[in-house]
Each structure stands twice: as structure tokens, then as C-alpha cells.
A and B are shown apart, each in its own frame.
Chain A
Amino acid sequence: MKLGFSWRVLVFIAPALLIYATFSALPLIDTLRLGLYTADDTGARSFAGLANYTTILSDPQWSTSFWNAMANNLKFFAIHMLVQNPVGLLLAALLSLRNVRFAATYRTVFFLPTLLSVVIIGFVWQLILSPLWGVSERLLSLVGLGDWFAPWLGLESSALITVSLMSVWQYIGVPMMLIYAALIAIPEDIIEAAVVEGASPWRIFWQIRLPLILPTLGLVTILTFVANFNAFDLIYTVKGAVAGPNYSTDILGTLFYRTFFGYQSQVASPTMGAAVATLMFLVILVGVAIYFLAVQRKLQRFAM
């Protein structure tokens, strides 16, 4: 029995609606609006149309740093898609095999880094990769790869990859858990039937289990996308707001922070910051829209 509207509904919904609207939804809309304004030296704001966006996208200095951050962010996302999600899938597939001993222990430990603060993870890896301490060099020598070591975090060519892999290491638990949950939800009889037919475990995985968990892989992809294009903490912790060396680890989140708060010679600008945030919003919105329109429609598993 569903009830119609009454004043009670208001009492139930109002507190959540009020807080969510005031501190999440309206600030977001207001940010979109602020991106259309500029402020003069006194701080007075005036409507400027798309001027901020023209600056970001066409001013040589601005557009270089924006597209640099965008490209880095895409690489950051690509590394997550190529390493985090496949390894997460592999671990989940192994854990969901029948009668794997200690499966619960493995699961618990694999998820542990995800729970730790990015700040902790950042510093822990910074210490481990530090040439001063030399732990990684020593570990690599144990397997005969000592010469291979380089101060990866400090090199322009490898800093972004290193930071991305740190993030992969931390968050691998999320795809693993989601995929694992989907795998164990596959009805036993389907697998049984395939086993009886004589299908190998390899074939069962590729032709039965994988197609059945495609919706979850779609979900994992969009979650990774949103999280990556909104990332900030790890890079700020490890490389600071300037995202060095030479902006090689700068992503949209750090660019947003610097634009909003200023750094070194650049003046803080809330309106420019709002414009950068709006661009991030558009990127995320496009990703989410593609997911819902293309992926979800095909997979038909959206249950809201």
C-alpha cells in the first residue's frame, strides 16, 4: 500500500533535501554561474559571458596548462583502466573460483589499502621509492634488478606513471570487490551445466562468466572515470599543488586548486576557478551521459 502526499512526507524529506540542496546542489549551480563572471582588483564581480572560457582555451599560457592537465588526466585514467581494472578482474576471478583456501583472508587484505587515507598512502610510497632510504633499490637487487632503479617520482618522464600506479595500488580493492560480488551472484546451475558439458574453466570464464558481468564492468568503468577526473589528494600529497616536476603530474584537480587559491606568482581567482570546475563538471557529465545512454541502455540493468 503506497500512501499519497501528506504533510508527513515533508517532515521526512525536508531535512535531507535542505542540507543536500544548500551545500551540494546549489553551490554546484552557483559555481556554473560564477564561471561566467570576472572580478576586478577590488573584488567586484561583473558578468563577462564566456570570457573565462575563452581565456582558458585560447590564451597561450592558460591553454597550455589546461590541455596539459587534461592530457595527464586522460593518461591517469588510461593507466587505471589498463592496470587497476584488469588486475582487479583477475583477482576477483581467482577469488571466486570454488574452494580457494584463505579466500576471505586474501579479500580482506586486498581491500585494506583502499581504506587508508590517500595522504598515508602517498607518504608511504614516497618513503619506499625514496633514493635516500633505498628500500626499493635493495628490494630490486634481491631479484637482480638493482640497476633498474631510478628516482621515478622525481623524473619528468616517469612521475605521472608512478603516481598513477600508487593510486592503482590503493584503489584496486574497489573493482575487485564489485566484480567479485557480480561473479558470485551468477547462478550455480549455469556454471554446473557448462562443467557437465565439459567446458574448461578458461572457457567458462571467457564465454559465460565474463559476458554475465559486463554490466558490472560498465559500472566499474564509470566509477573509475568520475573518481579519476575528480582526483586531487594523492598528487597534492606527493607532488604538492604545483604538481611537479615541471607540471608533469598536473591533473584537473590540482589545476583547479591552483587557479582557485593561487600559487607563487599567480593570483587566486575564484571566478577562474569556477570556470575550471565547470569544465571538469562537463567532462564528468559527458562521461556519465555516455554511460547511461549507451552502456546502460544496452545492458538494461539500471534499477533505480
Chain B
Amino acid sequence: MANTSTSTSLPFAPSRVFVHLTLISYLLLALLPILLVFMNSFKSRDAFFNDPLAWPTPETFSLIGYTKVLGRSDVLMYFGNSFIVTIASLFFILLFGAMAAWGLSEYRFKGNRWLKFFFAFGIMVPIRLGTVSILQLMVELNLVNTLTALVLVYVAQGLPLAIMILSEFMGQVPGELKDAARCDGIDEFRIFFQVVVPLIRPAIATVAVFTMVPIWNDLWFPLILAPSDKTQTITLGIQQFVGQYATDWNAVLASLSLAIVPVVTLYALFSRQLIRGITAGAVK
């Protein structure tokens, strides 16, 4: 920020103290619970019961929880399932979402507005309310306890918001570019994939981060559509696992920490993108 604007803001030191005091207290409130679980997951059972607030020391350090959890081969499979479901859903949401956004924002036809409204409806009304019929449909399609069922539902869930956000960005693609390409006789599909998609890549990344989080974290649909041992996602796996091991605190703490690490790592890598996406999207 330029110096000129600094000089116009009031030099109020006391309130600055208040500002930072509030922010730091909330910072502690947001971080401490996670930190507490993480740090105690590296301690022996006695140590975390006797002094839960201390950092692990060489005497209290123990990996027993982790060996127990990772000793179960299914944990890795749960992670694998979550990866497959999330990546596959993301791929189809972005591909079909971008295509539909282009179709809706670039072409004027009868029913265009109606279709937009139809999709927008899905942003406000949660897909969960249709669960009774979704389960019935999956039974008829023989897809219960398959990852395909989850992918289909998540794609349906993610499309409305993806289409809305991407349409906004499609509108910003300069008309001359498209017209020039059309004058050169380039096919509509090539214009879309080779001119438009590369231009809206940042928007696609934003939508990707937005849609990924709820899919990875969802408990409802894995619980209802794919609860079998082979198809559990990590969120459902942790839920069942912790329930099972309720009294084995080492295992509980370790499995929670293991579930937190990938999300925190991804967040550390993409937080700028995500936050920029949220702030840019909301400004509109």
C-alpha cells in the first residue's frame, strides 16, 4: 500500500493493540484444538493423560498410535477411494460445467433463461433432500456400494455452482477473439477447447478448489450409498474407525492427525488461490 494512504489513516496506537489482541486470541482459538490433537498423537498413553498440554519430549515420544492405524491396510485404501472419487468428480464437474456454461452464455436460444434458472435452483436446494429417491435409483441401476454412485451424485451436486461461476468468467472472454476464430472458420468445439478454456483457466482452478473440499469431506452419501468395506472414503472410514476404537486414545489421536495432514498440506499449497478465488467471486 502506498505511503500517501498510510498517512491519511489515523495514528491510533491503542486501538491497534486491541485489533491484534482480538486477532491473536482468535488465532489461538482456531489453532489450539488442532495443535493439541496433533501434538498428543506423538505421545505415549501415560504422557498425554498426565500432561496433555506439554510438547512430546524424548521420554514421552511414542508412535504407537500411528503404527496401529497404519498397520491396518484399509486406511490406505480409504485414502485411495477418496482420491478416486474426488478426482473423478472434479474432472467431470469442470469439463461438463465449463461446456454447459459456454453453451448457456454464448448462445441465445429459447429456454436459455429457464435452463439457467433450473441450474441455479441446485445451488440453493441441497441435493441431500432427494436422498430417498437417489438411493432407490442407485439400487435400480445396481450401483449401490460403488464409487461410481458417489461420483455421479457429486457431479450432480457440484455442477450448478460450477456453471454459475464459470458463466460469469465466460462473459469476460473478449468477443474479438471468438469472432476472429470464427472468421477463420474454426469449428465451435475447437474454439471452446483451444481458445476459451485456456483463457478461463484461473476460474477453473477456483471452481476446482471450491468443489473439492465438500466432496472430500462428505459423510452423508458415503454413509448411505457406499458404506461397504471396499468403498468407504476416508471421511467415513475415520468416522467408523474412531467409533470402533473409542477407548484406544493413541489410535484415535493418530487417525485424526493422519486425516488432518493431507488437507492442511494442500491448503498450505493452495491457500492463496483459494482465498483469491473466494474474494474475487464474492466481489461480483
Q: Which residues of A contact B (CB under 8 A)?
A: 1-6, 8-9, 11-13, 15-17, 19-20, 22-28, 30-31, 34, 87, 90-91, 94-95, 97-102, 106-113, 115-120, 123-125, 127-128, 133-135, 138-139, 169, 177-178, 180-182, 184-185, 188, 192, 195-196, 200-201, 216, 222, 226, 230, 232-233, 236-237, 253, 256, 260-261, 270, 273-274, 277-278, 280-281, 284-285, 288, 303-304
Contact = CB atoms under 8 A, between A and B. Distances in A.
Contact of A177 (B106, B134, B217, B282): B282
Nearest to A117: B217
A16 B100 contact: yes
18 contacts: A2-B106, A5-B110, A6-B188, A8-B188, A20-B160, A23-B137, A23-B156, A25-B122, A28-B125, A31-B132, A108-B271, A113-B30, A124-B34, A124-B256, A188-B5, A226-B124, A232-B219, A274-B133
Given A8-B189, A16-B97, 16 more contacts: A15-B95, A17-B100, A19-B96, A23-B127, A25-B122, A27-B134, A30-B130, A115-B213, A116-B34, A120-B259, A123-B238, A127-B37, A216-B282, A230-B128, A273-B131, A288-B124
B19 A12 contact: no
Interface residues of B, number: 106
Nearest to B275: A107
Contacts of B23: 91, 94-95, 100, 102, 106
A56 to B, nearest CB: 15
B203 to A, nearest CB: 16
Contacts of A185: 283
Contacts of A111: 271, 274-275
Contact of A112 (B34, B124, B152, B219): B34
B263 interface: yes
B36 A135 contact: yes
B103 interface: yes
Overall SS of chain B's interface: helix
Contacts of B102: 12
B159 interface: yes
B1 A99 contact: yes
A178 B6 contact: no
B109 A4 contact: yes
B71 interface: no
Interface stretch (B8-16, B61-69, B73-81): B8-16
B17 interface: no
Contact of B109 (A5, A113, A119): A5
Contacts of B48: 133
Contacts of B129: 28, 31, 230, 277-278, 280-281, 284
Contacts of A5: 107-110
B9 A9 contact: no
Interface string B78-115: 00000000000000100111011011101111100001
B33 interface: yes
A123 B219 CA distance: 14
A13 to B, nearest CB: 4
Contacts of A288: 124-125
B27 A260 contact: no
Nearest to A269: B132
Given A23-B156, A232-B128, A284-B125, A3 B106 contact: yes
B103 A28 contact: no
A177 B96 CA distance: 28
